[in-house]
């Protein structure tokens, strides 16, 4: 508890997630933290089906079969012969921290 914050051990405010653009002009989901130690960062709008499967704990081959059959546990986006999954849908399913941490592991 401080003079500025009368509530002891108050949880940090929820981050704001909104569409944005990165320095190269690509569309991203911009996550605005509430200041140190909660920094701002960006997430891609979509991830590959394989990445989504990893986050959901599904074998990629099983995920591909499910996506083709229309039984994947969340909505998929079909682009030609490829499948993508919306990052926003993954955030709703897994939570922001889970998706962020999984995407950072890929870098």
What is the tens place of the pLDDT at every residue in 46-98? 999 999 999 999 999 999 999 999 999 999 999 999 999 999 899 889 888 88
Q: How many residues does the chain have?
A: 107
Assess if residue 33 is contained within a domain.
yes
In a domain, 9, yes or no: no
Give the pLDDT score at 37.
63
Q: Looking at the predicted structure, is the pLDDT value of residue 32 above 80? A: no
Q: Is residue 10 part of a domain?
A: no
CB 55 within 8 A of CB 90: yes
State the residue range of the domain holding 47.
16-106
For residue 99, the model assigns a pLDDT of 85
Tens digits of per-residue pLDDT, 15-26?
677 777 777 777
Q: Which residues of 73-87 are buried (b: 16+ CB within 10 A; e: fewer)?
A: eeebeeeeeebbbbb
Is 45 part of a structural domain of the chain? yes
The count of domains in the chain is 1
Q: In 7-86, which residue ranges form alpha helices assigned H by DSSP?
A: 49-56, 60-69
Residue with tokens 């009368």: 6
């Amino acid at each position: 508890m401080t003079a500025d914050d009368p509530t002891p051990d108050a949880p940090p405010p929820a981050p704001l997630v909104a569409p944005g653009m990165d320095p190269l002009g690509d569309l991203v989901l911009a996550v605005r933290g509430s200041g140190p130690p909660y920094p701002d960062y960006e997430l891609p709008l979509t991830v590959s089906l394989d990445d989504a499967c990893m986050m959901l704990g599904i074998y990629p081959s099983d995920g591909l079969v499910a996506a083709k059959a229309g039984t994947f546990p969340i909505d998929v986006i079909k682009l030609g012969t490829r499948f993508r999954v919306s990052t926003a849908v993954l955030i709703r399913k897994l939570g922001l921290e889970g998706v962020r941490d999984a995407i950072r592991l890929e870098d």
